């Protein structure tokens, strides 16, 4: 059971890097970097290692933050719920990355809008269901709040701050670098 919580999500998180590396030469020179929530405005960027591998890198940053937050918690009922909540979020990040890369490859390499749309909705469904399931699984942890068990060390807080900065650099900075088309 422990292997499912520790290794499998990281295998899923690494898979998009392998897929993108395999298809890298087939990807267009201008790639969609992000689109508006309505889907009517897309920001494009020139193909580079940063722009191609940006999405799975964002998910790795999120997964590392989740790993810090879930930490090694004792085995009380509320702490098990806490661990399960963060594990659900880790799987959510892993599958979100996999589906987003599948959408990207479908639209830029295979030019298949039908599959790209399917993966877009799979991503959206994964995020919504993952967050809802995490809330359901974690509710016992928060109704039985034990602050003493959940304190982060200064080192963990510093690493989380670095991860937050990395997230902003990877996710938000490109909006200011590349123009919408």
d(CA 4, CA 158): 28
CA angle 41, 122, 57 (to 5 degrees): 70
181 pLDDT higher than 50: no
Domain residue limits at 59: 50-177
Q: How far apart are CA 55 and CA 44, in angstroms?
A: 14
Residue 13 lies in a domain: no
Closest C-alpha among 178, 18, 171, 172 to residue 98:
18
pLDDT 10s digits, 84-97: 888 999 999 999 99
Please tell me the total count of domains within the chain. 1
Residue 98 lies in a domain: yes
What was the pLDDT predicted at 45? 87
What is the per-residue pLDDT across 19-50, written as a single tens digit (0 to 9) for each? Answer: 999 999 999 888 887 766 665 667 788 999 99
Query: Residue 39 CB: number of other CB atoms within 10 A?
Result: 9
pLDDT of residue 79: 72
> Under 8 Å CB-to-CB from 67, ≥6 apart: which residues?
90
């Amino acid at each position: 059971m422990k292997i499912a919580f520790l290794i499998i999500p990281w295998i899923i998180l690494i898979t998009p890097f392998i897929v993108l590396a395999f298809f890298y030469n087939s990807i267009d020179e201008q790639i969609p970097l992000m689109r508006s929530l309505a889907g009517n405005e897309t920001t494009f960027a020139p193909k580079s290692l940063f722009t191609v591998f940006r999405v799975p890198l964002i998910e790795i940053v999120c997964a590392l933050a989740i790993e810090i937050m879930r930490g090694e918690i004792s085995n009380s009922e509320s702490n098990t719920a806490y661990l399960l909540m963060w594990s659900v979020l880790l799987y959510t990040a892993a599958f979100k990355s996999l589906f987003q890369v599948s959408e990207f490859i479908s639209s830029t390499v295979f030019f298949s809008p039908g599959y790209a749309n399917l993966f877009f909705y799979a991503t959206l469904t994964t995020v919504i269901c993952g967050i809802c399931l995490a809330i359901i699984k974690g509710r016992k942890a928060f109704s039985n709040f034990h602050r003493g068990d959940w304190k982060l060390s200064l080192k963990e807080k510093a690493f989380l701050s670095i991860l937050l900065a990395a997230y902003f650099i990877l996710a938000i900075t490109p909006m200011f670098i590349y123009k919408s088309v």
